[in-house]
Copies of this chain bind each other. A is one copy, B any other.
Amino acid sequence: MKLITAIIQPHKLTDVKASLAKAGVTKMTVSNVLGAGQQKGYDENYRGVVHEVNLLKKVELQIAVNDEYLEPTIKAIVEGAHTGKIGDGKIFVTTIDETIRIRTGERGKAAIG
């Protein structure tokens, strides 16, 4: 079981969700984050003081999948989020030792989906 953590451009969320749905992935957890990466920040101005904003608004997706779903899911995320421009985002994969569905108490691979 793998946990996919993807950080994408906020306005690509709709596309990524659509592309994931096509790949049969509908379960996910989403949150708002700020990110610093290769993408350059921009200047803001407040009361005459200019300052650089370098933590940019991003959306983080967490998706737990069984191993056979890993590559299709990654592919779907990339398809939805890719524009070729800096700031497109990044995906990290980690290993899940155990999954529990709270409602039923089911564990393991059965609990993921």
Shortest C-beta distance, A25 to chain B (Å), equals 10
**CB of A53 closer than 8 Å to a CB of B:** no
For the complex, what is the distance from the CA of A79 to the CA of B84, rounded to whole Å?
Answer: 36
A2 to B93, CA, bound (A): 10
Interface size class of A (residues with CB under 8 A): 35 or more
Known contacts A29-B33, A33-B29; A3/B60 CB under 8 A: no
Supply 15 A–B pairs (Cβ within 8 Å), ascending by A.
Answer: A26-B36, A27-B36, A27-B37, A29-B35, A29-B58, A31-B34, A78-B102, A81-B102, A86-B103, A88-B101, A90-B100, A90-B111, A92-B98, A93-B99, A93-B100
Please state if A3 and B94 are interface contacts (CB–CB under 8 Å). Answer: yes
